[in-house]
Amino acid sequence: MINAILSMGGLALVAGLGLGFAAKKFHVEGDPTVDKLEEVMPATNCGNCGYPGCRPYAEAVANEDEAINLCPPGGTATMEAIAAIMGVDPAPMEERAPSVAYIDEEKCIGCTACIKACPVDAIIGANKQSHTVIIDECTDCDKCIEPCPTDCITMVPKEVTLYTWSMEKPDGPHALH
Amino acid sequence: MSHANLLTSSSPHVHDGASVDRVMQSVIWALMPASALSVMVFGLPALLVILITVASCMVTEQLFMLIRKRKTTLGDNSAALTGLLLALTLPPHSPWWVCVVGGVFAIGVGKQIYGGLGYNMFNPALISRVFLLISFPAELTTWPVPMPLFSDGAFSMSQAFAIIFSGEYPVNQALDAITMATPLGQYKMEVSMGKTVTDALGGDYGFSYINSMGGNLVGSIGETSAILLAAGGLWMIRKGIITWHIPGSMLLGTLVPALIFWAFDSSVYPDPLFHLVTGGLIIGAFFMATDMVTSPVTIKGQLIFGASCGLLTYIIRTWGGYPEGVSFAIVIMNTAVPLIDQYTRPTIYGQRPERT
Amino acid sequence: MGIVASVLKKFHGGVHPEEFKDLSEKCAIEPMPMPERLYVPLHQHIGSPCEPSINVGDMVFKGQTIGRPQGFVSAPVHAPTSGKVVEIRQHPVAHPSGLTMMVAVIEPDGKDTWHKDISGLEDPFKHEPAEIRERVRCGGIVGMGGATFPSFIKMSPPKDKVVELLIINGVECEPYLTCDARVMEEQTTEVIDGIKIMLHGLQTENCVIGIENNKPRAIEIMKAAVKDIPEIDIIALPVRYPQGGEKQLIEVVTGRQVPSGGLPIDVGVIVHNVATAVAIRDAVRFGHPLLARPVTVTGLGISRPANVQALFGTPVQEMIKHCGGLKNGTRKVLMGGPMMGVAIGTLDVPVVKGTSGILCMTSNETTDKPEQACIRCGRCLQACPVSLMPTEMAWLSRHEELDKLQEYNLFDCIECGSCSYVCPSNIPLVHYFRFGKMAIQTADKEKKRGEIAKQRAKAKDAREEKVKAEREARKAAMKAKMAAKRKAAAAAKGEKPATEKESAPAAGGNDKAAKAARAAKAAKAARAAKAAKAAKAGGGTKDAAGDGDDKAAKAARAAKAAKAAKAAKAARAAKAAKAARADGGTKDAAGDGDDKAAKAARAAKAAKAAKAARAAKAAKAAKAAKEAKADGDSQ
């Protein structure tokens, strides 16, 4: 009996020491989660998620278990990436077509409210001069819509051309035809 | 102007006509000669075992497809093939419920719960056989003596039914005994008690190569004729259904160690030919290990897989607890297949060191 | 000779589809009537699209440049005949997306007059290789085997690489197609001449022409033609698809493999199609740009298979009409061969530089079986000429594991279709790979855009910080100045009390009152200045009203608000009316009645609610569709 206790105890001690040693020696220094999360966000700092920027949202997701489906410009891709990093299930997400802002230049009064609101300087124009959106730089964050006093900004879906088209995935086996 | 019904799918737009159901069908044809001989050698009970097992597999498959709300896959012949292969690993007088349970397990647990054809990890017939062997050792190790179909003592259909469904053996049997040990079983049992190989297999037991070539071999339904099974296997290779890599490496994997050990001490270790014709080595090498879903896709991988199966078979047969090792060997190697595939990836065009 | 292997090697894998060459191999290349309109796409090559160099209404001559190349990897596009440019617009082209491209629509005038500047080189061999290359470039010559890579680039090897061998690709491994075979049989002297010019341009003297041995006449004729030419050899190759692939052909002829991610010149080889040789000859000797090509119109679905010389921009419908029309039961029409061609959904797409064939297939020739689960038979690995693992790549594509896909060398896939051809489960493997490649490229593009957006956001933040800091500094400076002024004034006051007493009333009564008055005056001035500045900046920013109670600021704000509200009301009324017209969703369409501001606010709110509702509906529908798809996909 004593032998059994001693030998089992001894084995457990050795195993525990071994695990502890391995945990220290083979420890992998990974990115802090917040940095990883911020990487997968679109960096528009648009505030759609309710946080004053992408990094605060990343911190909230990492530290306070915030919902992962609050980022419309990032879309499903960002939500799934966050899910993968945090090891949680993907959350339902509104599918919205990638859009860009469009300023109706007839209605624009040149007040520069939208220019000030755009976080990536994607609107060009000056005071009392018609404004217009640089389509390539617009990140679909919707921040310019509110400030416009004449409500002349709308989000229009991006046009798919032969050059921006991407092939769809095949239906897969057992597809219910 | 446009034609409303022009099909626009991705290239390529032609196909060589291969299909899963044709592949499976070809394998079933390759097994027919050996199965027919077995029915000849063991009589109608063996036929019943085959039919019940195949039916059980097909019914289970259909049930699962109904539960999963999918279109029936009986058309791809894979359930029927699994049934036939499973039946060939069972003793010729297996009770009906062994056949049914085996079929349900093979398709239900061996295939469907993984997701159906293509997703299973283990060879369904073999995993079911292993399950049956471990769960019902008595039934799975009762080996009846051959009772040829057109001989004096052949079982009639009603007698066959009685054997399979009620376990009742008819009286007035022109037999000394109903069951016997398989050659491998005999070898293991007697040699472990100290006899030499020749003593174990000769004498009362009366094993002879000539006899066994004709199919007069005690064992499972599929162990009777090594020649017919090999012929079926070679026909499949010729037709391109399987390649030589797995059968070849598996046979070598068993025969080479057998040769070495037999040369070392022939009183204790039987010769390689014995290993070749007895047990399930041939059916395992040509029909079980070559199951596409559960074997590697790369050529190098197939060679490694086959050789390991063969080696494991020899080890289990010689030093393991069971007389026959083919099913265990293949099932064990099935677990290693994804790993083998990963480490034997071919060198792609443009990545070999230039040798000009 | 040279690096040609003494015993022909074999490339890994490959398949042997039914050839069907007998449908058109005896048909000599024939002309066709001029179509009524030519729809000439401005992008018929690998590389950047051309910019139109003509306008609607212009008269153009045959061979005139109508599309200017952009960037280095690009090729000009020319008018295939003389006529008028009636439109420059989007038009469907043969592409898997079925989308449109910019084309120049030319109405031929029937005169077929060459442009006056068209001129060739009397004796090309007396000119520098650079001159030859320039003519190839200006002629818009691209690879005519179907790849359409600008040929002048393949005539300009980098200085540090040596061209050891020129391989002319007469393999034509795609089933059904016979245009290259006919070129070799009918335009033999032109081919040889073109090859000699290319050899001169490349400054090399080794050339082999690879021809598959299902073209015995072509082999015979070509062998006879090069009998007395030591630089050129003919090699007859066993039939195997895709032997005509550049990399496979090089491996078979020289035994060398082009390094992954590299080019044939890395192993000292340049490969050109046999029809390209003829095109180069025409461009160099006569100055004729690439305007037309032989096209094999074939398949069991066409009434009269033929090889037709077609001008670029000819609608496929015209070609089919010329060959007797489609038979009943035609299931697919392809541009190209059956292994790599593009299935077109509409017949008004035009013929372009890479159109080697128009294949009309009946349901006997093409299949449309549903995809089944992979049974891991390994036939695709055996068939792949690049020794990839198609089964793994398709699995990873389906599950969108983009990183692992690159580990499995997805981009080395040449999309030849051999794997899909042999798959017993009818898995559309090449479709999966194309999807995977595009997904990876799109993800990379999105990442880059994200990086740029991040930088722009950072730059904007920095700029705003800077402006803020400057403002603070100015404020502080002004404060300090004011404080200094007061101090100085107080000091001055303290120093000369007598003089101060005299002028005290003028300054505004006693010290306290004067001080207060001056402070108030200064404060008022400052606020007025601030308000004025804010009004100038246009408003919307809340901190213009930071001072709160000051009358001037308040008045300014009120005026601004009134103006804005007025404009807003007008705009929102118009918008609401428009929205009401468009979909009748908003409630407060009228925009007049009770309190104007409130009404406007409600209108805006309603519009936004409607928009949100619509978006939610669309999202729901999309989600439902996605879930249904996922359900079907997970098993």
Cβ of C432 within 8 Å of Cβ of A169? The answer is yes
Residue C386 belongs to some domain of the structure: yes
Strand partners for C508 = none
Contacts of residue B23 in chain C, CB cutoff 8 Å?
Answer: 375, 377, 424
Distance spanning both ends of chain B, measured CA to CA: 55
Which pLDDT score is estimated for A91?
78
ipTM over 0.95: no
Contacts of residue A114, defined as CB under 8 A and 6 or more positions apart, other chains included, come to A101, A103, A123, A131, A144, A147, A148, A153
Which pLDDT score is estimated for C633?
47
Q: Is B19 on the interface with A (CB under 8 A)?
A: no
Contacts of residue A173 in chain B, CB cutoff 8 Å?
Answer: 118
Tally A–B CB contacts below 8 A. Answer: 5
**In terms of residue numbers, what domain contains C391?**
373-482
Do A73 and A111 have their domain in common? no
Nearest CA in chain B to A176: B70
Residue B299 belongs to some domain of the structure: yes
Which pLDDT score is estimated for C504?
45
| B289 min Cα distance to partner chain A (Å) | 25
Contacts of residue A122 in chain C, CB cutoff 8 Å?
Answer: 456
Do A104 and A82 have their domain in common? no
Residue C108 belongs to some domain of the structure: yes
Which pLDDT score is estimated for B192?
81
Strand partners for C83 = C60, C108
Token match 């999966």: residue? C432
Residue A39 belongs to some domain of the structure: yes
Cβ of C343 within 8 Å of Cβ of B8? The answer is yes
Do C212 and C266 have their domain in common? yes
Cβ of C386 within 8 Å of Cβ of B116? The answer is no
Residue A71 belongs to some domain of the structure: yes
Residues 4-33 of A with CB under 8 A from C: none
**In terms of residue numbers, what domain contains A58?**
33-86
Nearest CA in chain B to A168: B10
Which pLDDT score is estimated for C578?
54
Do C76 and C140 have their domain in common? yes
Residue A18 belongs to some domain of the structure: no
Do C71 and C172 have their domain in common? yes
Residue C66 belongs to some domain of the structure: yes
Q: Over 80: is that where the pLDDT of C348 sits?
A: yes
Distances (CA, A) of C20 to C147, C259, C306: 22, 34, 13
Distances (CA, A) of B9 to B161, B270, C40: 54, 60, 25
Contacts of residue C561 in chain A, CB cutoff 8 Å?
Answer: none
Pairing status of strand C207-212 against strand C232-237: parallel
Do C349 and C405 have their domain in common? no
List chains adjacent to chain C, taking adjacency as at least 3 C-beta pairs closer than 8 Å: A, B
Cβ of C635 within 8 Å of Cβ of B348? The answer is no
**In terms of residue numbers, what domain contains B306?**
21-341
Least confident of C16-25, C101-110, C233-242, C598-607: C598-607
Do A68 and A117 have their domain in common? no
Residues 236-265 of C with CB under 8 A from A: none
| C633 min Cα distance to partner chain A (Å) | 6
Instruction: Tell me which DSSP letter residue B74 carries.
Output: G
Question: Is the separation of the CB atoms in A147 and A98 below 8 Å?
Answer: no
pLDDT band at residue A42, thresholds of 50, 70 and 90?
Answer: confident
Report the share of chain C in percent with pLDDT over 90.
Answer: 67
| C634 min Cα distance to partner chain B (Å) | 9
pLDDT band at residue A44, thresholds of 50, 70 and 90?
Answer: low
Contacts of residue C293, defined as CB under 8 A and 6 or more positions apart, other chains included, come to C144, C179, C275, C279, C309, C310, C312, C351, C353, C355
CATH code of the domain covering residue B211: 1.10.3430
Q: What is the DSSP string of B136-164?
A: -HHHHT--BPP--TTSTTPPPHHHHHIII
Do C64 and C124 have their domain in common? yes
Residues B10-20, mean pLDDT to the nearest whole number: 92
Residues in chain A: 177
Q: Over 50: is that where the pLDDT of C254 sits?
A: yes
Residue A172 belongs to some domain of the structure: no
How many domains is chain A partitioned into structurally? 2
Do C324 and C425 have their domain in common? no
Distances (CA, A) of C141 to C25, C279, C310: 25, 7, 16
Residues 383-412 of C with CB under 8 A from A: 397-398, 400
Residue A143 belongs to some domain of the structure: yes
pLDDT in tens, C45-83: 999 999 999 999 999 999 999 999 999 999 999 999 999
Least confident of A3-17, A69-83, C399-413, C612-626: C612-626
Q: Is A174 on the interface with B (CB under 8 A)?
A: yes
Do C283 and C346 have their domain in common? yes
* Residue B93 token pair: 């007088």
Least confident of A54-68, C93-107, C238-252: A54-68
Tell me the C-alpha distance between C412 and B140, whole Å: 52
Do C400 and C340 have their domain in common? no
Contacts of residue C425 in chain B, CB cutoff 8 Å?
Answer: 19-20, 118
| B9 min Cα distance to partner chain A (Å) | 10
Chosen from C90, C93, C99 to mutate, greatest number of chain A CBs within 10 A: C99
CATH code of the domain covering residue C430: 1.10.1060
CATH code of the domain covering residue C323: 3.40.50.11540
Chosen from B1, B5, B10, B303 to mutate, greatest number of chain C CBs within 10 A: B10
Least confident of A97-101, B278-282, C408-412: A97-101
How many domains is chain C partitioned into structurally? 3
Residue B120 belongs to some domain of the structure: yes
Residues B86-94, mean pLDDT to the nearest whole number: 93
| C67 min Cα distance to partner chain B (Å) | 27
| Average pLDDT taken over every residue of chain B | 89
Tell me the C-alpha distance between C59 and C57, whole Å: 7
Least confident of A109-123, B321-335, C137-151: A109-123
Question: Is the separation of the CB atoms in C604 and A151 below 8 Å?
Answer: yes
Do C352 and C448 have their domain in common? no
Tell me the C-alpha distance between C393 and C268, whole Å: 31
* Cβ-nearest to B7 among C255, C331, C635: C331
Residue B180 belongs to some domain of the structure: yes
* Residue A119: strand, helix, or coil: coil
Residue C528 belongs to some domain of the structure: no
Do C138 and C223 have their domain in common? yes
Token match 């009228």: residue? C590
Contacts of residue A109 in chain C, CB cutoff 8 Å?
Answer: 567
Contacts of residue C607 in chain A, CB cutoff 8 Å?
Answer: 151
Q: Over 80: is that where the pLDDT of C619 sits?
A: no
Do C290 and C223 have their domain in common? yes
* Cβ-nearest to B12 among C260, C391, C417: C417
Tell me the C-alpha distance between C106 and C91, whole Å: 13
Q: Over 50: is that where the pLDDT of C585 sits?
A: no
Tell me the C-alpha distance between C255 and C248, whole Å: 10
Which of these, A122, A113, A119, A143, lies nearest to A55 by C-alpha position? Answer: A119
Residue B4 belongs to some domain of the structure: no
Do A113 and A151 have their domain in common? yes
Cβ of B345 within 8 Å of Cβ of C257? The answer is no
b vs e for A69-104, b when ≥16 Cβ sit within 10 Å of the residue's Cβ?
Answer: bbbbbbbbbbbbbbeebeeeeeeebebbeebbbebe
Residue A23 belongs to some domain of the structure: no
Residue C517 belongs to some domain of the structure: no
Chosen from A166, A174, A177 to mutate, greatest number of chain B CBs within 10 A: A174
Tell which wins on pLDDT, C465 or C451.
Answer: C465
Question: Is the separation of the CB atoms in C163 and C204 below 8 Å?
Answer: yes
Q: Is A144 on the interface with C (CB under 8 A)?
A: no
Do C125 and C255 have their domain in common? yes
pLDDT in tens, C181-194: 999 999 999 999 99
Tell me the C-alpha distance between B33 and B228, whole Å: 6
Nearest CA in chain C to A108: C571
Residue B7 belongs to some domain of the structure: no
Which uninterrupted H or E stretch holds A101? strand A99-103
Tell me the C-alpha distance between C540 and C551, whole Å: 19
Backbone angles phi and psi of B214, in degrees to 5: -80, 0
Nearest CA in chain A to B119: A173
CATH code of the domain covering residue A77: 1.10.15.40
